[in-house]
Amino acid sequence: MRHRARAVVAACSLLSTLAAGCSRPARLAADLVITRAKVWTGDSQQPEAVAVAVVGDRIVDVGGADEIEYWRGRSTTILDAEGRRLIPGFNDAHVHFVEGGTDLDSVDLRDAPSQAEFVRRIAERAKAKPHEWIVGGHWDHRRWHPAELPAREAIDDRTNGTPVFVTSADGRMALANSAALGRAGITETTPDPPGGTLVRDANGNPTGLLEGAATDLVARIVPRMTAAERAQAVKRALQYAASLGVTSVQDMNASSDDVAAYADLANHGELTVRVYAALADAAWYDQARLGLRRGFGSASLRLGAVNGSVGDVPIDENRRTRLMAADHAGLQVCLDVRSEGGAAAALDLVDAFVRADGDRDRRLRIEHAQYASVGDADRFAASKAIATVTARSPEEFARFSRMNVRTAIGSDWPSAPLNPMLRLAAVAAHATAPAAVAAYTSGSAFAEFQESVKGTIARGRFADMVILSDDIFAIPAPPIDGVQVLTTIVGGKVVHQRNP
């Protein structure tokens, strides 16, 4: 028996020697290697590098050219960055993704410089698709000279029977033409609804401008999107986001239909942007009763958050109860504020959560945190609340950064442009560009409990990265808004590529 054992050992030794002499030991080769890059990792342990190796959807190595050369194999795709800046993919912490995709196929009025251009774009859309509702738009009359509010008379003759219902950039107003008002049954005798105003002319006739809750009078009759239309809107949004280097989004007030569209695309491998969907607070129980908690889901689609509005007036008791219950159930709570008073009320609610259920890692979020007063800003760090700074608010971002408040950046698209470069250019004028990029990447990842897999270029993280046309860390702040994303990589796959 002992002789047989020695023979087996000797045979194994001989086979190992022969194998070593005939070929090198088998090793895992990378699926993708990015070379000759100026890598900004966002990782304090290794801030800079020149090459990255990816296996599957994960980064397996970051370092120098010689180190990463080890990962090159026969089937490895080599992406030469040609000395350009490589950074983590942008994670937009506050969007309305389906609405944004819908706007891309409807009419974009955000940058219309005048009321004449506003009218021209609506007329052009009505001519292209007659009788099909024109919605969205997100116009901003403050851009116009003179800055006059629009009225239906300006667009009625140019739209004929095509119904128009376009909203303002801040979401507080909408303009409806006569066709839309007629379908909604709105006349000169229609009373103002509670919390809303039908703006009227000198004769008492509706001008088509609707404020506050009055927008619901028309919004409720706009035809619901079909499943096919919703899927198309998401696909348009995915394509657009990829072209801007946005690899993750956090969709606020997503509907169950939106989630269904995301899930269908994810099942077919077509969800090329990672989505964290925060449903309206009224839907908290639908998630809680299924046992969902914060960050539940897959690498591409996750649930477990609720979004609730907090205004100037004392929060509605029913909403307060829903939000308290959602927090108790382990869902992440995002409090949406639109004023200084709302920010203070939201922070009061954060304190109430802690008193009711004790201190834990909630990562409660204040959306549109730029509305917080200087005094209230002090409370963010004490309450461990995350400040999600949306739209163009560079001074507020700098203030939160100085106070070491956890900060994430979101666009509020489509109310504001999705392009991260526009926001970075504004923020970098008041804070450092690296700080701004960190908030747009690792800061947003932390806000959705994903800092262990997103937001930095490091071993084990998702291979979500972008190559830029220019080095945003080496140019003055204003020109940053002209920097383009040349390549967008999500999960190790190139989803967008542009020639420099």
Residue 21 pLDDT exceeds 70: no
For the segment 115-132, the average pLDDT, to the nearest whole number, is 95
Q: Which two tokens stand for residue 407?
A: 């900060």
**Each residue of 194-239: pLDDT tens digit?**
999 999 999 999 999 999 999 999 999 999 999 999 999 999 999 9
H, E, C per residue of 23-68? CCCCCCCCCEEEECCEEECCCCCCCEECEEEEECCEEEEEECHHHH
Distances (CA, A) of 111 to 118, 143, 153: 9, 8, 21
pLDDT at 27: 66
pLDDT at 25: 44
DSSP 290: T
pLDDT at 361: 94
**Each residue of 278-337: pLDDT tens digit?**
999 999 999 999 999 999 999 999 999 999 999 776 788 899 999 999 999 999 999 999
Sign of the alpha-carbon dihedral angle for 255, 260, 266, 272: negative
**Each residue of 78-95: pLDDT tens digit?**
999 999 999 999 999 999
Angle between helices 97-105 and 256-267 (to 10 degrees): 80
pLDDT at 395: 79
Nearest to residue 394, comparing CAs of 467, 456, 478, 471? 478
Contact 454, 466 (CB under 8 A): no
Residue 19 pLDDT exceeds 60: no
Residue 72 pLDDT exceeds 70: yes
Residue 9 pLDDT exceeds 90: no
Residues 6 or more apart from 499 whose CB is under 8 A from it? 486
Distances (CA, A) of 33 to 50, 78, 82, 169, 247: 11, 5, 13, 42, 19
With tokens 């006739």, the residue in question is 205
pLDDT band at 23 (very low <50, low <70, confident <90, very high): very low
Nearest 5°: phi and psi at 383?
-90, 0
**Each residue of 429-444: pLDDT tens digit?**
888 999 999 999 999 9
**Each residue of 392-435: pLDDT tens digit?**
667 788 888 888 899 999 999 998 899 999 999 988 888 899 99
